[in-house]
Amino acid sequence: MPVIKIMNISGEIVGEKTLSDEVFGASVHVSAMHQVVVAQLAHARQGTASTKMRGEVRGGGKKPWKQKHTGRARAGSSRSPLWVGGGVVHGPKPRSYSLKVNKKVRALAMRSALSMRVIEQSLCAVESFGFEVPSTKKMKGFIDSLKAKKVLFLLDQRDENVVRSASNIPGAKVLHVDSINVLDLVHHDHVVATPAVLEKLEEVYAR
> Do the beta carbons of residue 127 and residue 195 sit within 8 Å?
yes
Question: Is pLDDT at 150 greater than 90 in this prediction?
Answer: yes
Q: Side chain identity at 199, as an amino acid letter?
A: E
CA distance 103 to 113: 15
CA distance 100 to 165: 36
Question: What percentage of residues in the chain have a pLDDT greater than 90?
Answer: 91
Question: Is pLDDT at 169 greater than 80 in this prediction?
Answer: yes
> Do the beta carbons of residue 177 and residue 154 sit within 8 Å?
yes
Give tens-digit pLDDT for 8-44. Answer: 988 889 999 999 999 999 999 999 999 999 999 999 9
Domains plus CATH for the chain? 3-46+99-205 (3.40.1370.10), 51-91 (no CATH)
Average pLDDT score over residue span 170-199: 96
What pLDDT score was predicted for residue 127?
86
> Do the beta carbons of residue 14 and residue 8 sit within 8 Å?
yes
Query: Could you tell me the strand order of the sheet in which 172-176 lies?
Result: 13-18, 3-7, 123-126, 190-193, 151-155, 172-176
Full-model pTM: 0.85
